Amino acid sequence: MEYDTLVIGSGISGMESAIKLGDMGYRVLLVEKEASIGGKMILLSKVFPTLDCASCISTPKMAAAIHHPNVTALTYAEVEKIRKLDGRFQVEVVKHPRFVDEAACTGCQQCETACTVSVPDQFNSDLVARHAAYIPFPQAVPKKAVLERAGTSPCTETCPAGVKAHGYVSLARSGEYEKAFQLVLQSTPLVGTLGRACFAPCESECSRGSLEGPVSIRRIKRYIADDHYDAHRRLQALPEITHTERVAIVGSGPAGLTAAWQLARKGYPVTIFEAEDQAGGALWTIPAYRLPSAVIGQDLDNLRQIGVSIRTNTPVHRIEDLFDQGFSAIVLAVGTTSPVQLLVAGAHASHVDNALHFLKAVKTGVGTRLEGMTVAVVGGGNVAIDSARSALRLGARVVRLISLESREAMPAFSWEVEEAEQEGVFVLNGWGVESIGESELHLMGCDATLDREGRFDPQYDRTRVQSVPADRVIVAAGMRPATEAWQSTLTLAGGGRIAVESESQATSWPGVFAAGDAVSGPTSIAEAAGAGKKAAEAVEAWLSASAFSPGPMRLPRVSQEEVLARQSQYALRPPRGGNKALVLHPHDFTEVEPALTESEVRDNSGRCLDCGVCSECQECVAACPADAIHLDAREERFETTVDSVIIATGFKLFAADRKPLYGFGRFKNVITGMQMDRLLAPTRPYHTVLRPGDGKVPESIAYIMCTGSRDQTVGNPLCSKICCMYSNKQNQLIMGALPLADVTVYDIDMRTTGKGYEEFYVQTRAMGTTFIKGRIAEIVEKDNGNLVVRYEDIDHGGQILEQEHDLVVLAVGVQPNHDVERFFEPGVLEFDDYAYVNEADEILSPGQTNVPGVYVAGTAAGAKDIPESILHAGSAVAQASAYIEGRRLPV
């Protein structure tokens, strides 16, 4: 689609330009970066000097612009680049995703009401919250919701299980613990398990970690799991069986359970085959001090509640048997259940056990006591740590952990090693086992464990030896899948791992998929769960004969720098919640990590920085009656060609904190003129005019004029033209809203240069506003929030006086909008000395820039009030039209 004119910005000048050009028959592309057209005018209370309602006179313009047959209005879109090409203009536009289907959205605001993330409302000058899902303001055109999404939050992006960590934290922050539980269930049934035994990569990536420490994301999950299970809640909305194809899952560790869970929720009849006498796989090797058995049982019950059949003591030796039984697809998730044996003398002695057997026996209550024994655990990974700490709890007098690796290179998490040492485990690094005697281990030095390519290849130093006593030896030297039975029917990779196509998880046998540690080797619960989820998606695609796509693509991760830059400062709030109860030589398997209290959960979740802004909690999706939320929407880019361009990007308000003398940002009852306009508007942030410091109805209000205008100290010698009149307007409105309030204006002079303006000013005075010609020397905030204004009273001899007010309003001025500078290559479009778009002949050809075909309308060229902006837009329109017609005339 080609257009005659591009209009950038949809404030009053942009709308006027677009409508007028459209009326003249030109095709117009109107691009607005906000989610609604209307600019600043629609946010005003009333307009001077007529005191017409700003909404009432803006909304017809907005409707005319959006519905004009010749105007294509793009909201939530930006012009990226403009290049002049053969006398025309090539324009690059990016349309930001609303994540809402504009055609389906009815503007009902139910998504906004349900949203769990609160941010400052820029359309109310940050005086009140809005939600991440929002409609800009009540008169928005189009009245369609938008989800503010800066990207994927690091915690969510990094979760191997695909759990929306930010989502459940934001739900917990709102006290919606059951909804938070249900959100985790969307990824995996292992909510309680992951709440305790996950290694929490989410916390490692938490942006709060660079402040005073990460949000305790995992422990919040533990709380919401306990909250659900303690209340004996049953899962609702059990899925109906909607497919006839039966799916077999072989293995019931985290990968198998999650694959089964996902497929059952999608309506497939699922049967899990477990070789052992109880489901859970590797979960039963995690000691109870980290993961109580009851929690595993609760998580497993989730599957039973939705109808997953679990057949224990049922090993699968022949895959074809499952097809013979009528299963249409199979997921192999058998984990790594074969321990790697030490190839040293004495490895098969009766006092030598493998760690998996040992840990499972302990967990299921059949482990022997180790009172008074000296125990050696061989290995440097987390299983070795679990074994060593379990041995202590079984009464071992001395527990040594023999690690080939140096301390830094140990596969175990560093905190696990530290906790083991705090409990009394002795860690010996850089030692390998040379042989195992009846009551001792003979060790030899190990200088390195990996070769140059990173492959396991320990380099021993046999000149460095020692022996350590050992009544019992527990070997945790690695694990591999028990896949020998399938080696003739499936393609296996090294170490007995099942070979799969990396994206689809498909094995060499059509209809057979594999997931988890049986494919990747030993990983974590979260990683295995994620693999199970992915395998389920692949099975579903295979059964439905559709192309496999690995789940919805996430938005790019939000950078920590971007997140931290959103605030000028942070209040440090160290995470609350008891530390692990670590004692020397513990004697039982009581959980070492205390649960968070509800207060601690609220406090912790309140520390979340909402990195992605939208938390992906899915509440909007559930609330939307029109099914209009589309989180998979992405930005769209396109190019078009136009004959002319009108720049109507408006102005920026002066940032009042650049005048520290006036205390904006430091004193809670110092606000800007735009904030007061919002307080006076029908769609105001409060229910009336209140001061923001304590909600009091102000009785004495001061206006300080020329804030950021006519002020060389802030680099702006220009008069902003509108401040005097909008202050007069507000004064009159305040006297209507708060008849008892006193209003005092501190000004240099009053500039009332428009038709009826001087009369309006006189009327303001007559209504009771006090005007003091005086410069402000200082503002001091009192304990009660009142503000003492110290000023030079010019009309009374320049004496220095003080006056106390409830509220101070800074009549902030107009500044150029620098956004326009990036549209063209540097040097193409000229700007004046004050950084406004330069008008080549401001007097005779207002609106004409130095680039033929490019025009400027309204305050992008300098301060103007509304009537002037509309007039200026008319000039720009006329010139754009003349330019277009001139090009069309035969040469």
Q: Give the residue with the Cβ less far from another protein, 151 or 685.
A: 685
Task: Report in angstroms how near the CB of residue 601 gets to another protein at its nearest.
Answer: 9
Q: Give the residue with the Cβ less far from another protein, 669 or 769.
A: 669
Task: Report in angstroms how near the CB of residue 147 gets to another protein at its nearest.
Answer: 16
Task: Report in angstroms how near the CB of residue 568 gets to another protein at its nearest.
Answer: 6
Task: Report in angstroms how near the CB of residue 561 gets to another protein at its nearest.
Answer: 16
Residues 6+ apart with CB under 8 A from 369: 394, 395
Largest CA distance in the chain: 108
Label residues 74-90 b or e (16+ Cβ within 10 Å = b). Answer: bbbbbbeebebeeeebe
Element (H, E) at 8: strand 5-8
**818, exposed or middle or buried, with CB in 10 Å at 0-12, 13-18, 19+?**
exposed
d(Cα 830, Cα 850) in Å, to the nearest integer? 6
Q: Give the residue with the Cβ less far from another protein, 88 or 602.
A: 602
Element (H, E) at 293: helix 293-305
d(Cα 509, Cα 869) in Å, to the nearest integer? 71
Q: Among 517, 527, 420, 419, which residue's Cα sits nearest to residue 201?
A: 527
Task: Report in angstroms how near the CB of residue 785 gets to another protein at its nearest.
Answer: 8
Residues 6+ apart with CB under 8 A from 335: 251, 253, 255, 256, 281, 282, 481, 516, 517, 518, 528
- Name the residue type at position 233: R
Q: Among 40, 15, 137, which residue's Cα sits nearest to residue 722?
A: 40
Question: Beta strands 398-403 and 374-378: pairing type?
Answer: parallel
Task: Report in angstroms how near the CB of residue 169 gets to another protein at its nearest.
Answer: 11
Task: Report in angstroms how near the CB of residue 129 gets to another protein at its nearest.
Answer: 4
Task: Report in angstroms how near the CB of residue 116 gets to another protein at its nearest.
Answer: 6
Q: Give the residue with the Cβ less far from another protein, 126 or 591.
A: 126
Q: Give the residue with the Cβ less far from another protein, 260 or 611.
A: 611
Task: Report in angstroms how near the CB of residue 704 gets to another protein at its nearest.
Answer: 20
Task: Report in angstroms how near the CB of residue 743 gets to another protein at its nearest.
Answer: 16
Q: Among 308, 313, 284, 275, which residue's Cα sits nearest to residue 193?
A: 284
Q: Give the residue with the Cβ less far from another protein, 211 or 485.
A: 211
Q: Give the residue with the Cβ less far from another protein, 119 or 541.
A: 119
Q: How many CB atoms lie within 10 A of CB 48?
A: 26
Q: Give the residue with the Cβ less far from another protein, 3 or 662.
A: 662
Q: Give the residue with the Cβ less far from another protein, 804 or 842.
A: 804
Dump the DSSP string for 809-873. EEEE-EEE-GGGGGTS-TTTS-B-TTSSBPPTTTTTSTTB-SSTTEEE-GGGGS---HHHHHHHH
Torsion over CA: 655, 660, 662, 665 (sign): positive
Q: Give the residue with the Cβ less far from another protein, 352 or 670.
A: 670
Task: Report in angstroms how near the CB of residue 184 gets to another protein at its nearest.
Answer: 19
Q: Among 183, 113, 11, which residue's Cα sits nearest to residue 648?
A: 11
Q: Give the residue with the Cβ less far from another protein, 126 or 178.
A: 126
Residues 6+ apart with CB under 8 A from 844: none
Q: Give the residue with the Cβ less far from another protein, 546 or 567.
A: 567
Q: Give the residue with the Cβ less far from another protein, 419 or 781.
A: 781
Q: How many CB atoms lie within 10 A of CB 182?
A: 20
Peptide bond into 69 cis (omega under 30): no
Q: Give the residue with the Cβ less far from another protein, 85 or 565.
A: 565
Task: Report in angstroms how near the CB of residue 781 gets to another protein at its nearest.
Answer: 10
- Say whether 305 sits in a helix, a strand or coil: helix
Q: Give the residue with the Cβ less far from another protein, 373 or 617.
A: 617
Task: Report in angstroms how near the CB of residue 44 gets to another protein at its nearest.
Answer: 20
Task: Report in angstroms how near the CB of residue 668 gets to another protein at its nearest.
Answer: 5
Contacts with another protein by CB under 8 A lie at: 112-113, 116-120, 126-131, 170, 173-175, 211, 566-572, 602-603, 605-606, 608-610, 665-666, 668, 685-688, 690, 692-699, 785
Task: Report in angstroms how near the CB of residue 695 gets to another protein at its nearest.
Answer: 4
Q: Residue written as tokens 């909690």? A: 617
Q: Give the residue with the Cβ less far from another protein, 130 or 290.
A: 130
Task: Report in angstroms how near the CB of residue 736 gets to another protein at its nearest.
Answer: 16
First to last CA, the chain: 26
d(Cα 141, Cα 38) in Å, to the nearest integer? 8
Q: Give the residue with the Cβ less far from another protein, 462 or 687.
A: 687
Using CA atoms, how far residue 266 sits from 238, 246, 305, 406, 759, in Å, is: 10, 12, 14, 47, 72
CA angle, 416 as apex, 412 and 418 as ends, to 5°?
115
d(Cα 431, Cα 403) in Å, to the nearest integer? 6
Q: Give the residue with the Cβ less far from another protein, 605 or 859.
A: 605
Task: Report in angstroms how near the CB of residue 679 gets to another protein at its nearest.
Answer: 11
Instruction: Give 579's DSSP letter.
Output: P
Task: Report in angstroms how near the CB of residue 533 gets to another protein at its nearest.
Answer: 29
d(Cα 540, Cα 553) in Å, to the nearest integer? 18
Residues 6+ apart with CB under 8 A from 521: 336, 480, 495, 497
Q: Among 323, 310, 254, which residue's Cα sits nearest to residue 278?
A: 310
Q: How many CB atoms lie within 10 A of CB 760?
A: 20
Query: How distant is the alpha carbon of residue 877 from its chain centre?
Result: 42
